[in-house]
Structure 1
């Protein structure tokens, strides 16, 4: 097992502390702006995933395989699609709540 030198541990901790909120260095307005940018990016990505689902859409009707044009290809796998749908909806709703509460 490799031994960790105290100097390397201190260096990694000081690197991490640089990104933590500091009352003397950062204003609350900066923290709010960072949260707004992150929440907006999450909202944009989850909205795009909802509009254009993973795997794409069926292009033509296939009655034998029960595929309707415009339906998500991923929707043919019920359980994974519902997990995706619920997690995407939760992330989108949470990011909208954060955006609304910060503005």
Structure 2
């Protein structure tokens, strides 16, 4: 193979190389967006949990306080499911934050194994 033939081979395959790099960059960008949205949703769910919060103290007939203002309604109505909600919310928040930090740290785009691991985390 002469130098001219090798140059023709390189220039004829440059489109495939650029297109695969563009696909990896698009995947990288979409993973950043998805991880950011998951982190935002988990953060918001932590600030205002499902079913909301009690807006005032709940008292029974004798005057003893059953629920304090600002306490989660879900925690009062479903005491077994509430810790599960917090566990899932915390895991999704931390996984999305770690994905964002890994992507922002300058992860090389050519490492397909790392990109698959990051995709699996989400």
By percentage of residues, which structure has more strand?
A: 2
Choose the corresponding residue for 1:49, options 39, 45, 50: 45
| TM-score between the two structures when normalised by the length of structure 1 | 0.72
By percentage of residues, which structure has more helix?
A: 2
Query: Structure 1, unaligned stretches of length 5 or more?
Result: 1-22
Per the alignment, in what secondary structure is the counterpart of residue 57 of structure 1?
Answer: coil
Spell out structure 1 runs of 4+ moving beyond 6 A: none
Cα shift readout 1:16-64 (whole Å, capped 9, x = no counterpart): xxxxxxx637432221111000000000111111101000000111243
| TM-score between the two structures when normalised by the length of structure 2 | 0.61
1:18-97 equivalences in 2 (<5 Å): 24=20, 26-64=22-60, 66-76=66-76, 77-97=78-98
Could you say what the CA RMSD is over the residues aligned between the two structures, in angstroms? 1.7
Query: Structure 2, unaligned stretches of length 5 or more?
Result: 1-18, 105-122
Structure with greater Cα Rg: 2
Aligned residues: 81
